[in-house]
Structure 1
Amino acid sequence: MTRSSADGSGAQGAETPSILTKAFDLLHAFNPHERVMTLSELSRASGLPKSTVHRLLARLVDLGAVEHHRSGYKIGVGLLQLGASTPAGYMRDLAMPYLANLHRWTGQTVAFAVLREFDVVYLEKLAPTDSPSSIAQVGSRLPANCTAIGKILLAHENLDDLADFLPSPMPGMTPQSVTDVATLVDQLRTARGEGVARETDEAQLGLSCVATGLVMNGFAIGAVSVGFPTGTAMPAQLESALRDTASKVVKDVEAGLAKGRGHWFPREI
């Protein structure tokens, strides 16, 4: 099918990226480490010519997706409004009081995430001020097989079919990461049976994590985890506290869906 030349793509197929693709490439150049960037930095990070970046920035500023900063450009708060309008954002809002309680009780890092394909996407993270630097930040997307929170989400997929769809080998983040599909599926079966997943040094050396899922109709719509420095003695009631937190969030989500929002979540929820 021929595409309109107005979007900047080629006449046949997708040989040339569309203007929308280029705009998203530019937006993705921003990251938690580079929150304010100059035109030249954005050009290098996105791989787009400066002239293209200049035109895109002007339009994105008009739309509120990007804002001027005295030393360059930054993501606009208008995108925060869009992100907060997702069903996942609604679930995160309901979860916040329970996540905060778990964070206060453990004194450790509490995270909340969802599964997207074979990656876990972090919606919230509450960390103590003296916690070690972590690669998992709000908005981060990490391989699910490397994280406890990702494993518990995968554990509630169809495990009989999952091995046929997972990339083999799976991506690794440390020497401890489980990249063998058969080994991972065995771990997922155990996690599903126990209701919790664990990992030690698999996403980041020196950090461990325990997670449980928010299960509705047999499907994990999200998950909560507690992360801590490897070797830290954690309370014996940690797994119970995780399950209790997840149960309370699920109860609130179910109550919200009963008010005409049942189509917001998958798997007939």
Structure 2
Amino acid sequence: MRTGDPGRSVASRIFAVFEAFEDHGPLLSLTQIAEYSGLPISTTHRIVAELQEWGALARDAHGRYQVGLRLWELAQNASRRLREASRPFIQDLFSLTGETAHLAIREGNEVLYVDRIYGSKRVPKASRIGGRLPLHATAVGKVLLAGEEQWFKDAYLAGELVSLTPYTHVDPVALAAELDEIAEQGFAVAGEEARTGACSIAVPMLVGRGSVPNIVDAAIGLVCPLDQWSSLTNHLPALQGIARRIEQNFQPRLGSLGATSDDPSRFR
């Protein structure tokens, strides 16, 4: 729990309120917000009231608070260009495969799901749009990690590798070898590593979000029931074709970065 340090800035106190919802939401009482944010109840009451008036928080009939629609609308601007430009292609991927399809980027040490279209099959859901998971526990995350600079991969593997299920790959030496293989073959798979009963496959994309040429900065993938594990790679042609179409949609910016969608070094 954080301490109620009177020297904290106004911004840090607001961030602490939002972090309370990120870690313990979606519905919290005023007392819970104060407890989880480490703020005095009087300070919490004032901040929450102002956030509610602005629309960042909303209060239900039982007096509990949740993230408000205005904050959600503001958050939609994050990665909007990538999401909106990719949406028709993600829909095509879903139509071609019938499987849950998603688009993801790296945010720190986590994979952030930017868009997702759910299939009709019953598949355990590990995340949602706007949700995050460790890079090493998902196919899209592994693709993003494999396409990063070596110093970042080394630093990530030297940190704590959280095990989400008994099948999550957490041995740093074995994971390093797996990342090398992913970079070489151009795709990644994960079986029950984020959620038991589900498997996934993903391919990388270079769409120019960052400023470093040839660094993978987005990925698209499919989530399937575990009984499709042996046939996952049958979806590779569709995944790779859709990935190239999305990359071509960003071609002008790719050119300014000194790489093209046909550059084989983008995965290395």
TM-score (norm 1): 0.80
Q: What is the identity, as a one-letter code, of the residue corresponding to 2:115?
A: E
Q: What is the identity, as a one-letter code, of the residue corresponding to 1:80?
A: W
**CA distance, structure 1, for counterparts of residue 182 and residue 54 of structure 2:** 45
Residue 218 of structure 2 is matched in structure 1 by 222
- The 8 Å contact of residues 159 and 189 in structure 1, kept in 2 or not, is answered as no
Residue 181 of structure 2 is matched in structure 1 by 190
Q: What is the identity, as a one-letter code, of the residue corresponding to 1:18?
A: S
**CA distance, structure 2, for counterparts of residue 215 and residue 247 of structure 1:** 9
CA 1:249–1:137: 2 relative to 1, 3 Å: same
Q: How many residue pairs align between the two structures?
A: 246
- The 8 Å contact of residues 172 and 178 in structure 1, kept in 2 or not, is answered as yes
Q: Please say if 1:78 is aligned against 2:70.
A: yes
Q: Percent identity?
A: 25
| Cα displacement string for residues 175-210 of structure 1 (whole angstroms, at most 9, x for unaligned residues) | 211112221121111111111001111111111100
Q: What does residue range 163-174 of structure 1 map to in structure 2 within 5 Å?
A: 163-174=154-165
Q: What does residue range 28-67 of structure 1 map to in structure 2 within 5 Å?
A: 28-30=19-21, 34-67=25-58
Residue 239 of structure 1 is matched in structure 2 by 236
RMSD (Å) for aligned C-alpha atoms:
2.7
**CA distance, structure 1, for counterparts of residue 121 and residue 162 of structure 2:** 30
Q: Please say if 1:68 is aligned against 2:59.
A: yes
| Structure 2: stretches of 5+ with no match in the other structure | 208-212, 258-268
- The 8 Å contact of residues 168 and 180 in structure 1, kept in 2 or not, is answered as no
Give 1:251 shift. Answer: 1.3
Residue 149 of structure 1 is matched in structure 2 by 140
Question: Per chain length, whose mean CA-contact separation is higher, i.e. which structure has more relative contact order (CA < 8 Å, sep 6+)?
Answer: 2
- The 8 Å contact of residues 155 and 192 in structure 1, kept in 2 or not, is answered as yes
**CA distance, structure 2, for counterparts of residue 25 and residue 167 of structure 1:** 28
**CA distance, structure 1, for counterparts of residue 205 and residue 69 of structure 2:** 29
- The 8 Å contact of residues 60 and 66 in structure 1, kept in 2 or not, is answered as yes
**CA distance, structure 2, for counterparts of residue 203 and residue 247 of structure 1:** 27
Q: What is the identity, as a one-letter code, of the residue corresponding to 1:142?
A: L
- The 8 Å contact of residues 225 and 242 in structure 1, kept in 2 or not, is answered as yes
**CA distance, structure 2, for counterparts of residue 253 and residue 83 of structure 1:** 22
Q: Which has the higher helix share?
A: 2
CA 1:200–1:235: 2 relative to 1, 3 Å: closer
Greater shift after overlay, 67-76 or 25-34? 25-34
TM-score (norm 2): 0.80
**CA distance, structure 1, for counterparts of residue 195 and residue 232 of structure 2:** 22
3-state DSSP class of the match of 1:219?
Answer: coil
| Cα displacement string for residues 125-154 of structure 1 (whole angstroms, at most 9, x for unaligned residues) | 221245334121112121101111000001
